[in-house]
């Protein structure tokens, strides 16, 4: 089964432009052009993957060859079936995340943006602040000794106000979007421990 790529609807393109203007001024000032595409399989189902895992969207730098042919400097590919289930706030968060991956290459001596052989801004991909590859089975089998549980503990201790404030404020839980992955579940003892550390 093949994947069908399309230019993203105006709504998504305008949303990206607005987010760049609000939160990514250096990209705007450097004249970075971001192409926005959507993808679905032949039956209109989700098909976008990153490292073999389902993804809502992916960001990539466009090759110099494709830039010469008129493509943008970078692109965001959105899994269309997943995207259409998201609220406006979740669409903003998703696209802001993807835009944040685009990082201008800067000359150390001058602080100016590096340019490629065609005079376009050079870009890199900014890595995530946190990136985990976890196996639930290993966490269950080895518990606190597993890298999965050690990383989860570090994340809970170091980032609980940023990532888990919703879980620390009583029974309030974020609303799940249709088709979104399940929320992380904490045992009552773990939540009590986190609340006590506040």
Per-residue confidence (pLDDT) for residue 160, from 0 to 100: 74
Task: Indicate the range of 49-63, 135-149, 179-193 predicted with least confidence.
Answer: 179-193
Give the separation between CA 105 and CA 114, rounded to whole angstroms: 6
Q: What is the pLDDT of residues 111-122, one digit of tens each?
A: 999 999 999 999
Residue 193, pLDDT above cutoff 70: no
**186 vs 151, residue with greater confidence:** 151
Q: How do the domains of the chain map onto residue ranges?
A: 3-125, 136-197
Would you state the structure tokens that stand for residue 26, as one six-digit string?
């250096």
- Res. 174: pLDDT tops 50: no
Span 121-165, pLDDT tens digits: 999 999 998 888 899 999 999 999 999 999 988 888 888 778 877
| Class of the CATH-defined domain 3-125 | alpha beta
Distance (Å) of CA 182 to CA 87, 133, 185: 16, 17, 9
Q: For 1-43, how does the pLDDT look when each residue is reduced to its tens digit (9 = 90+)? A: 799 999 999 999 999 999 999 999 999 999 999 999 999 999 9
Model-level pTM?
0.79
């Amino acid at each position: 089964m093949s994947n069908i790529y399309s230019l993203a609807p105006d709504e998504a393109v305008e949303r990206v432009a607005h987010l760049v203007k609000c939160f990514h001024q250096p990209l705007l000032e450097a004249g970075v052009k971001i192409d926005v595409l959507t993808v679905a399989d032949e039956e209109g189902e989700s098909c976008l993957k990153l490292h073999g895992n389902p993804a809502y969207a992916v960001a990539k730098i466009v090759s110099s060859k494709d830039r010469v042919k008129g493509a943008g400097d970078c692109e965001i590919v959105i899994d269309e079936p997943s995207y259409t289930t998201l609220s406006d706030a979740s669409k903003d968060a998703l696209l802001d995340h993807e835009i944040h991956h685009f990082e201008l290459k800067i000359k150390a001596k001058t602080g100016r943006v590096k340019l490629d052989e065609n005079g376009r801004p050079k870009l890199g991909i900014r890595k995530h602040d946190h990136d985990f590859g976890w196996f639930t089975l290993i966490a269950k089998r080895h518990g606190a000794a597993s890298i999965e549980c050690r990383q989860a503990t570090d994340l809970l201790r170091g980032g609980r106000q940023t990532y888990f404030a919703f879980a620390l404020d009583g029974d309030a839980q974020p609303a799940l979007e249709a088709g979104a992955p399940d929320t992380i579940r904490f045992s009552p003892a773990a939540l009590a421990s986190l609340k006590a550390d506040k």
